[in-house]
Amino acid sequence: MLIYALVAGVLFGLYFSLVGIGLNLVFGVMRIVNLAHGDFLMLGAFVAFGVVTLAGIDPLFAVPLAFVLFVLVGMLLYWVLVPRLQGSVNPEMLSIILFFGLSQVIEAVTTIFFGTSERSIQSRALGTVFQTIKIKLFGGTPDSGGPIQIFGQGFPASWVIASITSLIAIAFVYVYLYRTRLGTLTRAVMSRRDEAFATGIDVDRVSAAAFGIGLGLAAVAGVFAPFMFGSVTPAFGADATVTSFAIVVLGSLGNPLGTALGGVVYGVCYMLVQTYLSSWADLLPYVLLIFILLLRPSGLLGRRVRVA
Amino acid sequence: MPSAFKHTLFIVAPLLAVFAVLPGVYENHLLLFNFVIFLILAQGVNIIYGFTGYLPFGYVGFFGAGAYGFAILVMHYQAPAVIAVLAAGLVGVALGLLLTPLLRLSGAYFAIANLAASLAVLHFVANPALENITRGPYGVSLTGTFNPTLAYSAALAVLALTLGAVVFLKNSGFGLALQAVREDAVSASMAGVNVVRMRVIAWLASALVAGLAGGVYAWYVSVFYPDNVFSGDFSIFAIVFALFGGVATISGPIVGVIILYGIYNLIGFTTPQYFQLIYGLLIMGLVLFLPAGLVSLATRRGWHVP
């Protein structure tokens, strides 16, 4: 049981890292609290529903589609919302309210078009593309797509696929931040926005890219949400946002790679509490969040941020 | 005429008089009661956000804790309702004291931690393991103290207290010192302002107000569930109302509640998603085009707004 909880915690934790990393990128670069983060997750889940119901193919194909789509949406939104916001007196506070408004709009529009019913996808649908490739290349018959064995315990294949995709996405963020020119510029903007501006970096362009990538990552996480959480409704966004915050703060706000660690710690804690003290499991993210903020507000891997 | 007296005479007294008379001429008493509750909460947000700059994103935590303080006193100790409302205020203050360490955080960190704190209190109260104390997720029913007329009067009394506090802040050296701390804590402390004490007092005052409001609310509705009294809508609405009018003023939050909550009730509940859409767009428009609230339309022209 302990091993099951630990492995499930790591699998879930990697996925949770993906859930939080986009939020953290946006906060790190723009000092903007994207309260609509969870709603972009929810929209990503609807892209997956669309791919499955309209095209009838593996929801994995929704991953690149959702990413590209929401990178574009993000850049567009950036130009509409952020420059105006940053001209105001207290952008960090006002961003909370602005993006709360955006999350209301997204939730309302989704409800108007798709209704409030819970939607889910058969977990067997995820990963069918691998089977098809395997059969094409090596022959053989399709197996039942049952649980995957790790340390003698069975885990749903969808959890494993989601956590592998999360690992790839985190690696992508690492390459973007530390191995590309745009990433170097992004990190410059992260550490000092005004100095980056003074050295001639096109801060708006860099921020727009980071905002787009942040939303794209949220949408990718959303594609797996129906498998990880069972079902998704338009109202799913608000809870997802709070959970993402717990993960991001745990890792450290403003350091996207810290989120990977935060997600795993969160996932393992969650699974342990779920296993041994299930009636208190709901309390965990919030209590954890408060304790981390008070004891080490910069997160597990962060710089100092506390002011008073 | 000292300005504190003027503010009381021309803003506070007329408002209280109108809400005292309205139940006689308008039948939807629940709506009026909700108006009073939101006036209290918006002014409570004004005290902490307007004067100190801390955005209490989990403000509803105090409100819900107050409601449950009221319920527990009535259920387990058969306390009279008025005593229970006072106790609800104390519960709010106690929770505020418990959360004072959060004031060490700044900016978005505080807002997020406060949100998490309110959700933690919700899940604590709603935990089935505490069923003999709080009835857990099954909700409480307080038919013994049910008395909407008296509860409405009590709400008006709490509103009067809250407005009194805001008038005091607006017209006293204390309020001025708080605003100085909000603008620049280091300079304020150099000028001899005790930064920590000031912030804690404002924080506890706004917690007290929300706790009292929660107690009165529990008295009025008498049957509620944790999800009702800890609904994040209370925090959001109170913040948006206060911001829409303009914080750090007496009249701003009042105007905000009357206009926005009025619109809310005009659009009605028949199609909640359309309402949500309009509301979301309104909030976004507010932040993008009027970040300092409606009163900034006047202050921009150089008019003084109390």
Higher pLDDT among residues A172 and A277, named by residue = A172
Does the pLDDT at position B157 exceed 80?
Answer: yes
Based on the structure, what is the number of domains in chain A? 1
Is A308 domain-assigned? no
- The residue among A149, A159, A212, A201 whose CA lies nearest residue A16 is A159
Cβ of A293 and B276 within 8 Å? no
Count Cβ–Cβ pairs < 8 Å, chain A vs chain B. Answer: 144
Q: Give A213→chain B minimum CA distance, Å.
A: 22
Does the pLDDT of residue A162 top 90, yes or no?
A: no
Instruction: Give the ipTM.
Output: 0.79
Q: Is residue A51 part of a domain?
A: yes
Cα separation, B102 vs B111, in Å, equals: 9
Give the list of residues 6+ apart from residue A174 with CB closer than 8 angstroms, or none: A257
Q: For residue B41, name the pLDDT band (cuts at 50, 70, 90).
A: very high
Structure tokens at A193: 């926005």
Which residue range(s) make up the domain with A275?
2-295
pTM of the model: 0.83
Q: Are the beta carbons of A308 and B185 separated by less than 8 Å?
A: yes
Q: Which residues of B touch A238 (CB under 8 A)?
A: 232
CA angle B276, B282, B288 (to 5 degrees): 135
Q: Please report, for chain B, the start and end positions of each structural domain, with discontinuous segments joined by +.
A: 27-243
- Report if residue A118 sits inside a domain: yes
Contact A290 B117 (CB under 8 A): yes
Computed over every residue of chain B, the mean pLDDT equals: 87
Distance CA B65, CA B227 (A): 12
Confidence of residue A40 (pLDDT cuts 50, 70, 90): very high
Q: Mean pLDDT across the stretch A19-32?
A: 87
Find the length of chain B.
Answer: 306
Exposed/middle/buried for residue B258 (C-beta within 10 Å: 0-12, 13-18, 19+): middle
